[in-house]
Every structure is written in C-alpha cells, then in structure tokens.
Amino acid sequence: MTLERYLGGLTARLFMLVSAGITGLVSLFGFVSQLSLVGSGGYHVTDALLNTLLTAPGRFVTLSPVALLLACLLALGSLARWSELQAFQALGHPPARLIGAQARLVLPLTLVILGLAQFVVPAAQFIAQTHQAQALGPGAPVLANGGFWAEHEGQYLNVRRFNYDNTPQQIDIYAFTPDGQLTTALHAKRATIAPDGTWTLVQVQETDITPSGIITTADHPTQSWTPFLTTRQMRLLSLPPAALSPLSLIRFIHAGHQQGAEVSRYEQSLWALLSLPLSALAMVLIAAPFGFGAPRQTNAGRPLFIGALIGLAFELCQQLITQTGERLALPAPLTALLPSTLLLIIALSLLSQQQNHLTRRRAT
C-alpha cells in the first residue's frame, strides 16, 4: 500500500466519522429548535424529527470543510502517536508528500458537495418546508413549480412565484360559495406583506360573478387583503437562497440582473458554495503545521480542540466579512473567497516557518 493511499484512506474514513458526528450534533440543536413548533396546528414530534432529517444534507454541505480539518488533524495525530509520521519522514518522505495525500481528497469532496447541493439539498428542503407548512395550520399549502396553492373555507390562493426578496408575485385569489359557485376572482401582479400579515395587492384585476351569472370587472392600483395563512407559513413557502441548487442560483441571478432586481443574497449563496473547495484546501493546509508538530504522546483531544478553535475562528471571520460586505455592497466573490484566502495565506506562512525551523535544526 502506498503512502498516499494509506494516509488518504485514513483521512477519508475519519472524515466520514467526523462529518457524521458534527452534522448529527448540529442537527440535534435543529431538532430542539423544531420542538418549539410542536403543538402548533397538527405539528408533532415526528414532524420535527422528519424536518431535522431532511435538512441534514444541507448541514453536511456547510460543515464539510470543518469536518475535513478535524479529519486531517486526527489522521496526522494518529500517525504521530504511533511514530508512523516520524518513520515516514525518516524514510525520506517530505511533508509536502504527506500534505498532498490529504489534499487529494479535496477534489472528490468537491464533487460530492456539488452533487448534494444540486440534486439532494433543494429537493430535501422543498419536502421539509412543504410538510412543515401543511402541518402547522389550516390551508394545507401545496407547493408546485416555484409557487403554491392553498385553500381555506372556500377561498383558494395561488401564488405562482416569489420575487428575489421573497415577496409573492402573480397572485390569484378565488372565492366560492358553499355549493361550489365562483363569486370572486382576483388577480394581482404582486403583493407586499405588512408586519401584521396583511397583504397589499398591487395592480389588481377583480372579477365578480353574481348568482344570476352577471360578470363585472374592475381594476384597482392597490387592494388590501387579509390572508388565511400565517406569517410563519408564508416564510416556509419560499426556499431560502442557501437551499437552492447552484444552477437555480445562476438562473435567479441572471434573471434578476436583466430585471434590475436586487440579487445580492443569491450571489452570496452561490459564491459561498463555490468557495467551499478553496475552504477545504485551506483546511487541509492549516492542519499540517499542527499535525507535524504534534508530540508523540498526543491524544485525540488535542487535534479536536485545535480544529474546533480554527473552525470557530473561521466561521466567525466568515460571518463578519459577509455582514460587512453586505453593508458596504462589496462584490460577492470578494466576501466569499476572502476568508478562505486569508486562511490559506496563514497556513502557507506557518508551513514555511516550520520548514525553516526544521532546516536550521538539521544544519546544527
């Protein structure tokens, strides 16, 4: 078995264990949050558990760079503990070869992440939000083709799509009598939602049908309407940018630019996803100085502690740069790639210092 296969296989196995562990841990916090909804409408503990399981793939995608960091630290720490790391170096294997064995995992990990982000995460999030919206209250919204249908006491609501700021567009509202006769049909181009949940319909065309069959139409610039859906249900009925597939994000951004709409949130989500390979590579490189410098008597707790600190610092830095970028209207590629680039520079600097230290020690 070659060195690359040995160290790469060990790191890959540890990555699967670590990613399952931290995804499960974060999902547990998500499950506790979902428990606060239990008792609302028909929402039960089983619904909260189902929602947690369906949203787990999205958490795995987000946490994968940190999981790779911990896996690399654990793998190098294990080699150091059993003197295998020193043996490899004594046999003439340079640190760069050991780092390369772990860095080779970045490409397959990237393919897995992109595959999950494109095909699994959006579908799972779609099912989770549909089921949650249906269980939370009356109306039983049914999502389809980017919009939804909902019904309550003879009123039918159809929203064909959501705008880039999650406001409903292309709205149809139908009112029926108990015996199934259509009495009113409203069509609005869009709606704005007030804090109290009231909708202000914009560019409304109203059609009234009397029991004798007389049809009258009228146009209104705006019209107020009180929906039968709660504000919580409305929030659930539009997928957040982070849950959209890469191709969907690209289409949203392209269409938004053509229409002059604000798409910065979608750009941030797209570039956050595209920056994951760079983040993974930075995590591999930042693990190396700590892994090669690990003493022989090191235990599993040390690399986990180091990895947790680096991961926490990286996440805080990422959030800070993202928030600052949004306030200052900085380009999304800059704010998404800057944290990983900084971490990469720090990792290369630490590796260079460590290599210089080893060269001076061998010279003396």
235-247 residue pLDDT tens: 656 667 777 889 8
Residue 124: its pLDDT value, please?
A: 92
Same domain? 308 vs 352: yes
Domain that holds residue 114: 3-134+241-363
211-225 pLDDT, tens digit each: 888 899 999 999 999
Task: Provide the pLDDT for residue 142.
Answer: 61
pLDDT attached to residue 78:
82
Return the minimum-mean-pLDDT range out of 104-118, 128-142, 220-234, 251-265: 128-142
> Could you give the CA distance from residue 304 to residue 227 in angstroms, rounded to a whole number?
50
163 and 119 in a common domain: no
Query: Could you give the 3-state DSSP secondary structure of residue 220?
Result: strand
The rounded radius of gyration (Å) of the Cα atoms in the chain is 27
Number of domains in the chain: 2
Q: Tell me the whole-structure pTM to 2 decimals.
A: 0.79
The rounded mean pLDDT for the chain is 85
Residues 33 and 168 in one domain: no
Does residue 234 belong to any structural domain of this protein? Answer: no
Residue 90 has pLDDT above 70, yes or no: no
What is residue 5's predicted lDDT score, i.e. its pLDDT? Answer: 86
Q: Which of 180, 203, 229 is the endpoint of a domain?
A: 229
115 with 169, same domain: the answer is no
Q: Is residue 216 part of a domain?
A: yes
Judgement on whether residues 86 and 210 belong to the same structural domain of the protein: no
Among 205, 229, 253, the domain-final residue is 229
Spell 298-336 as b/e; 16+ CB within 10 A means b.
beeebbeebbeebbeebeeebeebbeebeeeeeebeebb
**Residues 267 and 349 both lie in one domain:** yes
